[in-house]
Amino acid sequence: MAEATEASARRGRAAHRRKWRSGRLLISGAIIFFFAAIAILAPLLAQYDPFRVFSGQVLKGPSAAHWLGTDGLGRSTASRLVYGARASLQVAFFAVVIAALGGTSLGIISAYYGGLVDMIIMRAMDLILCLPMMILVIAVVAFMGNSITNLILVIGVLYIPGTARILYTTALSIRQTQYVQAAQAVGATVPRIMLRHIFPNAIAPLFVHITLSLGFVILTETGLSFLGLGPPPPTATWGRMIAEGRSYVHRQPLPLILSMTAVSIVILALNVLGDALRDILDPRLRGSATIKTGL
């Protein structure tokens, strides 16, 4: 009797966990979808040009003319928030695409060939992984300039090693499987084995990693913008809104509060989404502690 209740309680807890997992996935996914839509549709959604200065309407509260008020230069806060989403998500998306392409190819190539190729590629990756990312990004941006394209390139390239590590570990175990050996035995070409056999089976961890990376890249981009090293003015970025909003927070806190909220929500949602995806796609890692850092 006691055992039966125990078992049913356990089943109930498992069902509860499943529900919690899919709920997490839906909510965080919806939030990201919402922000992505805002970023893509920015020109349609924004009430005004984000650079347009309404002189005489500095630091106003919400009104019919300015839904979320204006900032220290009399620019529409709502429009700048919307375009800020565009800047952040744009950098994050393209940087992660670069990291995914580069990391996937390097990871799979070194796992497949092994030996000297493996040693050279993966040692180089480890080397870069050992360095303080933020410092390196700032240093490179300092010399190469801080246009959006440069930011995407720099961050993208510096995120390659992380992706390569993940793909490498996965590809290494796939390489040992019988279906890969079978493909080799029937004479499949190397690119075919990599693209048709190894890559499709490595997509799950790649996907999880990409989602988490998006969060880190947004952190890096908003951090750089906050320092004044992000996309150059007058581009609207959340990081710069936060930096500027600080100086007039006692007179009009809205730009500061809203931009900080936007950054926090997007980053938390991406972290939760990444976790939820990992639980679903990669059950082996369920519950393992990833270090999610705010830097």
Choose the stretch contacting another protein; rule: CB under 8 A; options: 74-82, 97-105, 141-149, 181-189. Answer: 141-149
Contact 68, 254 (CB under 8 A): yes
Distance set, CA 79 to CA 45, 237, 259 (Å): 8, 11, 12
User: Where does this chain touch another protein (CB under 8 A) — which range of 97-105, 109-117, 197-205, 243-251?
Assistant: 243-251
Q: Applying CB under 8 A, does 130 fall inside the site for another protein? A: yes
Quick check: helix, strand or coil at residue 70? strand
Residue 241: left if φ>0, alpha if ψ -120 to 50, beta else—which one?
A: alpha
- Shortest distance, CB of residue 128 to another protein, whole angstroms? 9
Looking from the CA of 2 toward its CB, the CA atoms found within 13 Å total 0
Two tokens, residue 288: 């393992």
Torsion of CA 269, 270, 274, 279, to 10 degrees: 0
The piece of 102-110, 196-204, 262-270, 277-285 that touches another protein (CB under 8 A) is: 262-270
Measuring CA to CA, how many Å separate 157 from each of 82, 175, 190, 208, 225? 27, 26, 25, 19, 19
Most distant pair of Cα atoms in the chain: their distance: 77
Judged by CB under 8 A, how many residues of this single chain contact another protein? 41
Binding of residue 251 to another protein (CB under 8 A)? no
Binds another protein by CB under 8 A, chosen from 256, 273, 276, 277: 256
- The residue from 4, 55, 250, 251 that contacts another protein (CB under 8 A) is 250
> Judged by CB under 8 A, does residue 144 bind another protein?
yes
Stretch of 91-99, 140-148, 174-182, 185-193 lying at the interface with another protein (CB under 8 A): 140-148
206-225: contacts with another protein (CB under 8 A): 215, 219, 222-223
**Alpha-carbon dihedral sign for residues 267, 40, 156, 209:** positive
For residues 242 and 186, the answer to whether their CB atoms sit within 8 Å is no
Pick the binder of another protein from 25, 40, 59, 133 (CB under 8 A): 133
What x-and-dash track marks residues 263-282 binding another protein by CB under 8 A?
xx--xx--x-----------
- Positions that interact with another protein (CB under 8 A): 127, 130-136, 138-144, 215, 219, 222-223, 226-229, 242, 246, 249-250, 256, 260, 263-264, 267-268, 271, 288-289, 291-295
